[in-house]
Amino acid sequence: MRGGGLWQLGLSITRRLAQTDKKAVGRRYFASEAELKKTVLYDFHVANGGKMVPFAGWSMPIQYKDSIMESTVNCRQNGSLFDVSHMCGFSLKGKDCVPFLEKLVIADVAALAPGTGTLTVFTNEKGGAIDDSVITKVTDDHMYIVVNAGCRDKDLAHIEAHMKSFKAKGGDVSWHIHDERSLLALQGPLAAPVLQHLTKEDLSKVYFGEFRITDINGAHCFITRTGYTGEDGFEISVPSENAVDLAKAILEKSEGKVRLTGLGARDSLRLEAGLCLYGNDMEQHITPVEAGLNWAIGKRRKAEGGFLGAEVILKQLAEGPKIRLVGFSSTGPPPRSHSEIQDEKGTSIGEITSGGFSPCLKKNIAMGYVKSGFHKAGTKAKILVRGKAYDGVVTKKPFVPTKYYKPS
């Protein structure tokens, strides 16, 4: 399932569960349940009212007892706990792990200080995005990387093929896929105060994008101060045998204010924060420049290249791309993925890639690609929803201000 349908599916399930026989709905949406992988928190989700749906080969909660609207607002006001164990974390090790990774991503990996990370993109030979990823330099000979669940197989195959070639030439790099670990994302204004109850690590000294290996609730964890909501928060890699206990402890320490939150609200939160969803806003034929991720290309990499597709990407940086990802606000029904974008004369200029009704702003928001020249904030457009044109306007992202914890 493409992620842009999550929000819509969640709303559909909510309506149907309220109106019809729950068993019939269950058969329709959960028919392939037996074939799906389950995280170690599966039973915990079900016990807490999680509505499970297929996502990237996994059975994942799209929502709990709260509506997606309520969950989205609560994350920004208090906090949310997400199970993101379907995502794939792995480590690269060896004295050449940094130069190896730099052949595959656009980031200046060498310039990262130990204990810091960044968003990056794995590119193909044409400069297109194979996946977006958060990479962290643990030490100069250890990189920790998290890739998207839906891209796991192709990402690992791509990396392995290049690793074999690199090692055949004498390069020192190996890897370990952390299938023994689970991943929790704690997001929102209460994330740090709640997590501080469970660790001796002084979280006030861990800033956005920074990484620590530390004990949390008695378990040996990797924590990164990052997330996918625009809020302050942490992604916590925890040994799978400790994951349920950690989730329970976080909820308990928050006194009910941090709530379990599903993929439906995660989608609305990331859209409000103007963050790309791979498979919707980024794909193999879209470059980081077209996706507005110029800032993620390291300064040295812009000068030297040295990554797959560098020739295409550096040319776009010099000349400008032909299409650009922009934000929109609009009237009428919320735009959805593949809604056509037209100029005021009715000429097609692009397509929506993600859209919906913002629970926090109480209005329609969307992202989509338009021809260069139509990308400036304030540009008026028409967005087609079910064959009818509605007024739209190019709007700066993020739609909701980000609250990342950075040094003052």
CA 121 from chain centre, in angstroms, equals 12
Structure letter (DSSP) for residue 390: E
φ/ψ bin of 95: left (φ > 0), alpha (ψ from -120 to 50), beta (otherwise) = alpha
pLDDT of residue 34: 76
Residue 32's φ and ψ, nearest 5 degrees, are: -95, 20
Residue 119 β-bridge partners? 134
Contacts of 220 (CB under 8 A, 6+ apart): 213, 239
Amino acid letter, residue 220: H
pLDDT of residue 17: 43
User: DSSP H helical segments within 189-309, as ranges?
Assistant: 191-196, 243-253, 263-272, 299-304
Identify the helix (H) or strand (E) that includes residue 118: strand 116-123
Q: What is the largest CA-CA distance in the chain?
A: 63
- Along the 408 residues of the chain, how does pLDDT read in single tens digits? 334 456 555 555 444 444 434 443 344 344 456 799 999 999 999 999 999 999 999 999 999 999 999 999 999 999 999 999 999 999 999 999 999 999 999 999 999 999 999 999 999 999 999 999 999 999 999 999 999 999 999 999 999 999 999 999 999 999 999 999 999 999 999 999 999 999 999 999 999 999 999 999 999 999 999 999 999 999 999 999 999 999 999 999 999 999 999 999 999 999 999 999 999 999 999 999 999 999 999 999 999 999 999 999 999 999 999 999 999 999 999 999 999 999 999 999 999 999 999 999 999 999 999 999 999 999 999 999 999 999 999 999 999 999 999 998
Tokens of 214: 């530390």
Contact between residue 104 and residue 160 where contact means Cβ atoms under 8 Å apart: no
Helix (H, G, I), strand (E, B) or coil at 88: strand
Neighbours of 404 (CB within 10 A): 15
pLDDT of residue 16: 47
β-strand 129-139 against 348-358: which pairing, if any?
Answer: unpaired
Contacts of 342 (CB under 8 A, 6+ apart): 348, 349, 381, 382, 383, 384, 389
pTM passes above 0.75: yes
- Rounded to a whole number, what is the distance in angstroms from the first to the last CA of the chain? 41
Residue 223's φ and ψ, nearest 5 degrees, are: -120, 140
Contact between residue 58 and residue 86 where contact means Cβ atoms under 8 Å apart: yes
